[in-house]
Amino acid sequence: MRIVELTTETKNNILEDLLKRSPNQYTQYEAVVSEIVNAVKEQGDSAVFSYTKKFDGWDINSENIRVTDEEIKAAYKEVDEQFIQTLKDAAENIFAFHQKQLRESWIITKEDGSILGQKITPIESVGAYAPGGKAFYPSSVLMNIIPAKVAGVNKIVLATPAGKDGKVHPVTLVAADIAGADEIYKIGGAQAIAAMAFGTKSVSKVDKITGPGNIFVALAKKACFGYVGIDSIAGPSEILVIADETANPRYVAADLLSQAEHDELASAILITTSRTLAEEVSKEVDDFCEILSRSEIIRKSLDNYGYILVADTLESAIDAANDIASEHLEIMTKDPYNVMTKIKNAGAIFIGEYSSEPLGDYFAGPNHILPTNGTARFFSPLNVDDFTKKTSIISYSKEALDKVHDEIAYFAEQEKLTAHANSIQVRFEK
């Protein structure tokens, strides 16, 4: 990996470089995605079937688009019992963590008869997206569906592409069943997002869509936002490690590569106060690349967006980490908890040398669907709040309104909204 000194210039260059990976930069695909979304909106099933045949290579129709109970039962027979138990254990951890996020509605009353409150209601229906086809990501299935289930969503729909044989990977089906999906559709890409956003004869319309996907999925979510809610527009995966001379270089290298293997646009950055550690990590990276199965992707990822930055002080390393606002942030320093208190911007923080990023990906319980491309400055991980709505409650007695009605009317008149003022004053006409 390239080793460079951390300066304001190098940091700004890296930030500019990383932003090139944002889905907002891939405008050349927007016309294609817009065409697909509009076709599904206007033509419904016929467009979904046509695009699925074109992109996924199998004959889909209204009879086979939805996964049946028999297919789910058959999937359990194809998945190793140990993996089924592991999925159940992970699901239990994820469920327990997200239950802690539940909020309650509340009401306050005053002696003058005024009542204020907030009512929290689950979203009625949610569509989760999981990448599929050649790949399968049961972890994403669990992370999407379980928070919605905890929130009390009435209908949870999963869309995931099938292979050319028209079958969804059995592990995906088992994970969806364990998580609690109500309907599973064998569709992917922009056409799947549009189908859930607008509804078709065969696909249920939902109120919100969540989940990661490729650039076409990301741009389709962006195009459908407003017709439905979305969680975020996810970009490529990223990891940033803050380390000092006490860190184990082999652990650091392994963790950097755990994200670099995702794809060629993934970012892996180490910021360290130790030049010796920087050189040792670089060597470990080279050694790992000789034996890891996805080394070709890893090398391209590191060539494009991999950096080892050597900082003069731990404070400057922390400042740079906050500016980059990485999706995953690992802290391997002598006093990691002290460093953690100074981190303002990160999707998820992993503290200590035994808190490797894949722990969060699969098993610990916090959600692994995280803000990317610096959006950790204003976005949060997927959570139970993403699947609920908050409604304000207001009730005033005549006595309570009488005390403030002139002030409210005056406020409205300052905005030249006389009908607003009249709506208040009419209740106190003599």
Instruction: Yes or no: say if 163 and 134 are a contact pair by the CB < 8 Å rule.
Output: yes
Query: Nearest-CA neighbor of 91 among 156, 145, 142, 149?
Result: 142
Instruction: Yes or no: say if 324 and 346 are a contact pair by the CB < 8 Å rule.
Output: no
Integer Cα distance of 347 and 425 in angstroms? 49
Annotated active-site residue in 98, 169, 262, 328: 328
420 classed as catalytic: no
Residues whose CB is less than 8 angstroms from the CB of residue 237 and which lie 6 or more positions away in sequence, other chains included: 259, 262, 263, 266, 267, 327, 328, 372
How many angstroms separate the Cα of 339 from the Cα of each of 7, 221, 246? 20, 36, 14
Using CB atoms within 10 A of its CB, is residue 16 exposed (0-12), middle (13-18) or buried (19+)?
Answer: exposed
Residue 253 C-beta-side C-alpha neighbours within 13 Å: 20
Which residue carries 């607003």 as its tokens? Answer: 420
Strand boundaries in 190-345, DSSP class E: 208-210, 229-230, 238-243, 267-272, 306-310, 328-332
Which residue carries 């002080």 as its tokens? Answer: 313
- Locate 88 and state its tokens: 């159940």
Residue 319 C-beta-side C-alpha neighbours within 13 Å: 12
Annotated active-site residue in 238, 280, 284, 327: 327
Query: Nearest-CA neighbor of 236 among 209, 218, 210?
Result: 218
Instruction: Yes or no: say if 418 and 132 are a contact pair by the CB < 8 Å rule.
Output: no
- Angle 138-143-148 from CA coordinates, rounded to 5°: 125
Residues whose CB is less than 8 angstroms from the CB of residue 230 and which lie 6 or more positions away in sequence, other chains included: 208, 209, 210, 221, 222, 224
Residues whose CB is less than 8 angstroms from the CB of residue 292 and which lie 6 or more positions away in sequence, other chains included: 257, 261, 298
328 classed as catalytic: yes
β-strands 115-122, 183-185 pairing: unpaired
Residue 219 C-beta-side C-alpha neighbours within 13 Å: 21
Integer Cα distance of 131 and 161 in angstroms? 7
Active-site positions read 327-328
